[in-house]
Structure 1
Amino acid sequence: MTHASSVRPGAAWLDSRRHRRLLRNHPAGVVIVSFRHAGRPHGFTATSFTSLSLDPPLVAVAVQEGSASSEALAAAPSFAVNFLAAGQERLARTFASPVADRFAPPTLSRRLDNGDPVIIGTRGWLSCATHDRIAVGDHLLVIGVTLDGEQDDQRPLLYGGRRYQTMAPLNPGPAA
């Protein structure tokens, strides 16, 4: 498969401010991507996480090109995705801030067998081997093959409309 664009040369597209305004109120799940680089744990908050494929089991996360996180993640052979639960806004803010050591107390973490850190107390995690890295616009898309994971039934933390929120079921019946 080729990576060809169907955008005509000279075609006009939305400016970035309007694009952001239009997507701002679409809520997304909040995760922390964590990994090891140069012998140290690294991590950042993301809402740009998605499932890509079931066979093989692929996920993707986008990170802004040129950021310290993108450079470190680009070099990492693996990474973990930590699913945040409702009520974990402090953790999301810590990993979204320029704090020097995001894994310092009160953040609690443990290492997976491959050395990647996972955060204790989140609603779950995935362990991923880096499958591909693709420069897309002003972001780096990192694709991972899911190797292992755990998840509980806490409600997820969402971000949309410039605030953290959670979801409630539309009807109290059993999940489909």
Structure 2
Amino acid sequence: MSTLTQLRRPVRQDPAERRRALYHLASPVSVLTVGHAGVLHGTTASTVTLVSREPLLVGVAMRPGSSFARLAAAEGRFVINVLDGGQGDLARWFADSSRPDGSAQFDGLSYTDDSYAHAPRLAGALAHYTCRVHSSHRAGDGEVLLGYVVRATAQSAPPLFSYAGGLVAGALHPARTTKETTAS
């Protein structure tokens, strides 16, 4: 069941302050890849999340009219390459709108062709999710692409995060909780 909530009165907070607060949502950085009609395309995404465990669905937030979303919908499948902490340059490359179009954007990059999605699986990525397009939904001024995970692989390495407007890499350490603190 879906509901739509309409605001009855305007929010009385500086929009810039709300945006600054949203920069504090840490999220893993991924490069999404698709192959359609013999042409490859990639884009950086910093909002990929688990939506459902059964069926296994992931969601990707994108800007409306995204070339990637259009190509993925036409092809019906795509790959999510979750980047490791050492792949910041790769994240910036696929976020740069001045990079070449089509397959040329992958020139000089190490990747293998995913046998199901026919899209690049970037070498050195922390994880790869091969997805079938489940659906796409307009949400406010964005679009949410849902993918059914057909196959997933992962390795152990520090992840690359988007945080406070920048890229952050580093080892993850378990947070201490009150129970751990009182037990030690």
Q: What's the TM-score, normalizing by structure 2?
A: 0.83
Secondary structure (helix, strand or coil) at the match of 2:106 reads coil
> How far apart, CA to CA, are the structure 2 residues paired with 1:49 and 1:171?
22
Q: Does 1:80 align with 2:83?
A: no
* Partner in structure 2 of residue 37 of structure 1: 36
* Partner in structure 1 of residue 166 of structure 2: 163
Shift of 1:19: 2.9
Structure 2 residue identity aligned to 1:151: A
Flag the structure with larger Rg: 2
Structure 1 residue identity aligned to 2:10: A
Shift of 1:124: 1.7
Shift of 1:116: 2.0
Deviations 1:4-63 (A, max 9, x none): 21223x432466533321111222110111111232111111111000111110101011
* Partner in structure 1 of residue 144 of structure 2: 141
Shift of 1:76: 3.0
Shift of 1:85: 0.4
Q: Are the aligned partners of 2:132 and 2:149 in contact in 1 as well (CA < 8 Å)? A: yes
> How far apart, CA to CA, are the structure 2 residues paired with 1:61 and 1:46?
7
Alignment: residue pair count: 170
> How far apart, CA to CA, are the structure 2 residues paired with 1:155 and 1:110?
22
Structure 2 residue identity aligned to 1:44: T
Identity of aligned residues (%): 27
* CA 1:74–1:19: 2 relative to 1, 3 Å: farther
Q: 5+ unaligned residues in a row in structure 1: which ranges?
A: none
Greater fraction helix: 2
Structure 1 residue identity aligned to 2:48: F
Q: Does 1:11 align with 2:9?
A: yes
Structure 1 residue identity aligned to 2:24: N
Secondary structure (helix, strand or coil) at the match of 1:90 reads helix
* Partner in structure 2 of residue 52 of structure 1: 51
Q: 1:116 aligns with which of 110, 119, 124?
A: 119
> How far apart, CA to CA, are the structure 2 residues paired with 1:65 and 1:158?
23
Q: What's the TM-score, normalizing by structure 1?
A: 0.87
Q: Are the aligned partners of 2:34 and 2:68 in contact in 1 as well (CA < 8 Å)? A: no
> How far apart, CA to CA, are the structure 2 residues paired with 1:145 and 1:15?
38
> How far apart, CA to CA, are the structure 1 residues paired with 2:55 and 2:150?
10
Instruction: Calculate the aligned-residue CA RMSD, in Å.
Output: 2.1
Structure 2 residue identity aligned to 1:73: A
Once the two structures are superposed, the pairs formed by residues 89-100 of structure 1 within 5 Å of their partners are 89-98=88-97, 99-100=99-100
